[in-house]
Structure formats: structure tokens, C-alpha cells
Amino acid sequence: MTSGEDIRLPFAQRLRQALSDANLDASGELMDDHVTWGDVNDPRGCRNRRDVLATFARRRDQGVSGAVTEFITGPQGILAVLSVRWPAAHSRAAKQTAYQVYVVRNELIVEVRGFDDRESALSALSMIS
């Protein structure tokens, strides 16, 4: 893990542990009430902590699991690379890599951004201001 100048190591460690454990309560404690994820104009977009946690819970209940394979901190955010396993009945590939950038302000996640590849995610992480 690379430590950024503004992201404190204890916060980053708590996020990594919450993701690794799929602990919704611990994840929720790290999120701002108004955290967003995805296109908030889309009915599937998450507009607040409740929406994000409900999406995580729904996926878990569908049998989706994941593991943190890489974790990089930046000045204002964190990139988590996840190996995601989807159940056989799901339309997605059984295993895929997810790249999520967590934008952090005042030691709370205010936005989750998903990316299709590592390079795009790293670029976004470096440009968060």
C-alpha cells in the first residue's frame, strides 16, 4: 500500500479491512451520508449511504463475492482493485476484475467511481482534487 499525503493510513486500513471482510457496518461507518456511486440520474445509481450499502447487500445476497487484490492510496482517494466472483446463474463472467476509486473528504468516502481498467482508475486517482 502506498500512503498518500492526505489519506491517513488508519482510514485506508479500515477501508481495506471492511472491503476484505465484506463488512457492511464497517463500510458504512466510512461513508458520508450523501456518498454517490455511479450515475445518480440513472435509477440504479446510488445517491446516499443507504443506496450504496443496499447495493452491496443485494450483490452479497445474490452470491457475489470479492477479494481485494491491490490497494493504492492517493492524495484525496483510494483505488481498490477487486477480484469479483459472480454466481454461475448470473449473466456476468464468473470472475472479473473491478477497479473502484473511493473519493475521500474529511475522512469519509463521498463518491465511489467504477472503472473498466487499471490505467483509467490510476489516472482518476491522481486527478482527484
Per-residue HEC secondary structure of 11-26 comes to HHHHHHHHHHHCCHHH
4 domain residue, yes or no: no
27 domain residue, yes or no: yes
Predicted pLDDT at 2: 43
Predicted pLDDT at 90: 64
25 domain residue, yes or no: yes
pLDDT at 126 over 70: yes
C-alpha span between 89 and 91 (Å, rounded): 7
pTM: 0.88
Per-residue pLDDT band for 1 (boundaries 50, 70, 90) equals: very low
The C-alpha R_g of the chain, in whole angstroms, comes to 14
Range of the domain at 92: 9-127
pLDDT at 59 over 70: yes
39 domain residue, yes or no: yes
Average pLDDT of the residues in 9-21: 93
| Cell numbers describing residue 111 | 463518491
Q: What is the mean pLDDT of the chain?
A: 90
Which of 47, 56, 83, 49 lies closest to 68 in space, CA to CA? 83
pLDDT digits (tens, 9 = 90+) for 87-99: 876 666 667 899 9
| Cell numbers describing residue 73 | 492510496
22 domain residue, yes or no: yes
Name the domain count of the chain. 1
Predicted pLDDT at 87: 85
Whether the CB-CB separation of 104 and 7 falls below 8 Å is answered with: yes
Instruction: Give the domain CATH number at 110.
Output: 3.10.450.50
Our CA dihedral for 9, 3, 102, 125, rounded to 10 degrees, sits at: 170
